[in-house]
Amino acid sequence: MAEKPVLVLALGNDLIADDGLGPAAAALLAPHLSPQVELKTSAAAGMELLEELVGFEAAIIIDAVKTGAAPAGTIFRYRLEDLSPVAAPSAHWAGLPEAQAVAQHLGLPFPREVVIFAVEAQDLATIGHPLSPPVQQSLPVLVSQILEELAALTARSAVGTKAFSSGVTSMGRSPELAGN
Amino acid sequence: MSRTVVIDPITRLEGHGKIAVFLNEQGNVDRAYFQVPELRGFEKFAVGRPAEDMPQITSRICGVCPTAHHMASTKALDALYQVEPPSAAKKIRELVYATFFVEDHALHFYFLGGPDFVVGPQAPKGERNILGVLGKVGLEVGKEVIGLRREMRELITRAAGKVIHPVFGLPGGIAKPLTQEDVEAFRKGAAHAVEFAKFSLKVFADVVLANQAYVDWITSDIYTHKTYYMGLVDEQKRVNFYDGKLRVVDPAGREAALFPVSEYLDYIGEHVEPWSYIKFCYLKKVGWKGFVDGTDSGVYSVAPLARLNAAEGMATPAAQEEYERFYATLGGKPVHFTLANHWARLIELLYAAECMAELAADPEILDPHVRTLPSAIPAEGVGVVEAPRGTLIHHYRTDERGIITAANLIVATQNNAARIAMSVDKAAKGLIKNGEVSDGLLNMVEMAFRAYDPCHGCATHALPGSMPLIVRLYNPQGQLLREIRRDG
């Protein structure tokens, strides 16, 4: 098991307008994370995420989406199991549910819980633009929702950890011992 | 009644491709368009920045092939500063680049192309996925793909700093030499990669070529286009991913052009269509004649099949054997079957692996002299590599301080855009008759463009499990008549 049981994986590219949501949220979250939480940012996709996720008990993924079904800045919360099950592959990369399915088939330790926070984007195509105002404005609410979710996930993953590690809970570790 | 069918992804997270099908009065396909929303503003973003930042910036605009952008950009800087990297630096760049090809091509064959071929185009939808591939080739192979990929990525990190965004390319060379320990790791990785590539070609022979129904798909007219082909070649006109001249062959396989990339503007034109952001590349000397096949049409193609067609052979022995088998099996050069890209990709996988082995065995690769310091005043530079998805060109102009005044990128999918559009059009024409949209349409159209492995912008993410598609049928007044959804 990973040194830190919970992962926050912020996806996106800070060079491309609202795609920078993940990195922007990560910067705001960083000072508030408990020692049980590891924060990573990535601009990669699909099977690359498999490598990022393997070994954690639980994970939160942050990303921008364009569903076209809600105003820009709307925050969506999904659980991984809410997303489409494995289907035909994309034109380019496998998706997250496929990464999970592959991990399960191959016996790799995939997080037991994956919660996804996604924010409806306005612009995902203009290089060098900042976050759009509605996405920028969603950040404080997004960050507080993620911190609440993390508290719950950390508590649950600590229970899971206890069962596996004979009483040494990750909640009980001091920050100095947690490593980076 | 004329109608429009739009196959449109509902989120941007996986593929950005959008397919619009215009039906005529009889309900047959008048014309199908493959639209690619491109990232905007790159040129504007680049202007005013120091040229030496470009290998980092351009690798950061793409989450899929950062190593290709990094390398094309670094080579453009060599040209801009008129500096020749030392031989060891070139070899290390090429070694890293071959390693990247192994990783990318292996993943594509098993995880993306695999569902079309290893599982089969006619298999039930529920099986046409990665798990179906694993079911057919075995879980051990799945572990092997993941393991090989991790090993290749660790090697790239070792030599290039970061795998997601490499940081080792500098004008005139690279940032650090390799150690004996690095080279040992590359030798081990190369041996592993060669073995894996040979195994993959055997899987292709056993599962695909031994199945007449699959061979019939590959060679069917629906997936055939007789166009020009372009790719980088070495001095013996053999396939090269990292360096050389661009060679173009005509639909009969005759050499139509051979030029250094610095002259690309004389050879490559960009045609604009009102329905797409993408500029369609064509051969200037032949001219733009529309989305049509043949020697009179300037449409050309890039990527694995095109590279094999545009060359005279492979520079490594086992890949050369496979190259010969490829043409002997498919009826001689050039091969025009779009789906043969999957086989060509595996031959390139073997070439890349053998290339790694040769470079890692070369004693010069340990030479600590890996940088020639630039001293010339910069003005203009063009760099080219073959990205896994085809020819990638970076072109910068700067002031005398090296600040960018103009930038132009021609990416692989742009080179291929016209032919991809033609393939999608042909597949749609074969599958939509008298207003009836065949159930297999989405899959068959997707198969047409998946063979090219098109890159739909440079920051695709991974949330949904598949590329969600919507088919919309419109009447001539633009009113929605019907909608078919596939949300994943």
Per-residue pLDDT of chain B (488 residues), as tens digits, is 455 555 443 222 334 456 677 777 777 878 777 766 566 788 889 999 999 999 998 888 776 788 999 999 999 999 999 999 999 999 999 999 999 999 999 988 887 777 777 887 777 767 777 788 888 888 888 889 889 998 999 999 999 987 677 889 999 999 999 999 999 999 999 999 999 999 999 999 998 999 998 899 899 998 999 999 999 999 999 999 999 999 999 999 999 999 999 999 999 999 987 766 678 899 999 999 999 999 999 999 999 999 999 999 999 999 999 999 999 999 999 999 999 999 999 999 999 999 999 999 999 999 999 999 999 999 999 999 999 999 999 999 999 999 999 999 998 888 998 998 898 888 878 877 777 776 566 677 777 877 887 765 443 343 433 444 445 555 555 555 555 554 43
Which residue of B35, B466, B472 to mutate against A (max A Cβ within 10 Å)?
Answer: B466
Cβ within 8 Å, pair A88-B134: no
Q: What is the dihedral of CA A38, A41, A46, A47, to 10 degrees?
A: -60
Residue B342 lies in a domain: yes
CA distance A129 to A122: 12
| Chains A & B: contacts with CB separation below 8 Å | 187
Residue A180 lies in a domain: no
**Residue A124: CATH number of its domain:** 3.40.50.1450
Residue B121 lies in a domain: yes
The H helix count followed by the E strand count for chain A is: 5, 5
**B276 Cβ neighbours under 8 A, 6+ residues apart:** B33, B35, B36, B417
What is the distance of C-alpha B406 from the center of its chain? 25
B458 in a labelled binding site: yes
How many structural domains are present in chain B?
Answer: 1
Nearest CA in chain B to A88: B129
Residue B44 lies in a domain: yes
CB contact, 8 Å: B107 with chain A? yes
Nearest to A84 among B61, B454, B487 (CB): B487
Q: Domain span at residue B131?
A: 39-427
Residue B22 lies in a domain: no
Residue A110 lies in a domain: yes
Residue B248 lies in a domain: yes
User: What size, in residues, is chain A?
Assistant: 180
Cβ within 8 Å, pair B13-A102: no
Q: Are A115 and B482 in contact (CB under 8 A)?
A: no
pTM equals 0.88
Q: Are A140 and A119 in contact (CB under 8 A)?
A: no
Q: Chain A partners of B488 at a C-beta cutoff of 8 Å?
A: 83-84, 87, 95
What token pair was written down for B122?
A: 């006619």
Query: B180: distance to nearest CA of chain A, Å?
Result: 28
Residue A178 lies in a domain: no
Digit-coded pLDDT (tens) for B2-39? 555 554 432 223 344 566 777 777 778 787 777 665 66
Within 10 Å of residue A144's Cβ, how many Cβ atoms? 12
Cβ within 8 Å, pair B39-A67: no
Query: A111: distance to nearest CA of chain B, Å?
Result: 16
Nearest to B131 among A92, A105, A118 (CB): A105
User: What size, in residues, is chain B?
Assistant: 488
Which residue of B461, B466, B467, B486 to mutate against A (max A Cβ within 10 Å)?
Answer: B461
Q: Does the pLDDT at position A59 exceed 70?
A: yes
**Residue B200: CATH number of its domain:** 1.10.645.10
Residue A179 lies in a domain: no
Residue B20 lies in a domain: no
Query: ipTM score of the complex?
Result: 0.79
More confident residue, A135 or A49: A135
Residue B437 lies in a domain: no
Digit-coded pLDDT (tens) for B65-105? 889 999 999 999 999 999 999 999 999 999 999 999 999 99
Percent helix, strand and coil across chain A, each to the nearest 5: 40, 20, 40
Q: Are B27 and B482 in contact (CB under 8 A)?
A: no
Residue A133 lies in a domain: yes
Q: Domain span at residue A117?
A: 6-161
How many structural domains are present in chain A?
Answer: 1
Q: Are B469 and B34 in contact (CB under 8 A)?
A: no
CA distance B256 to B233: 14
% of chain B at pLDDT higher than 90: 59
Residue B441 lies in a domain: no
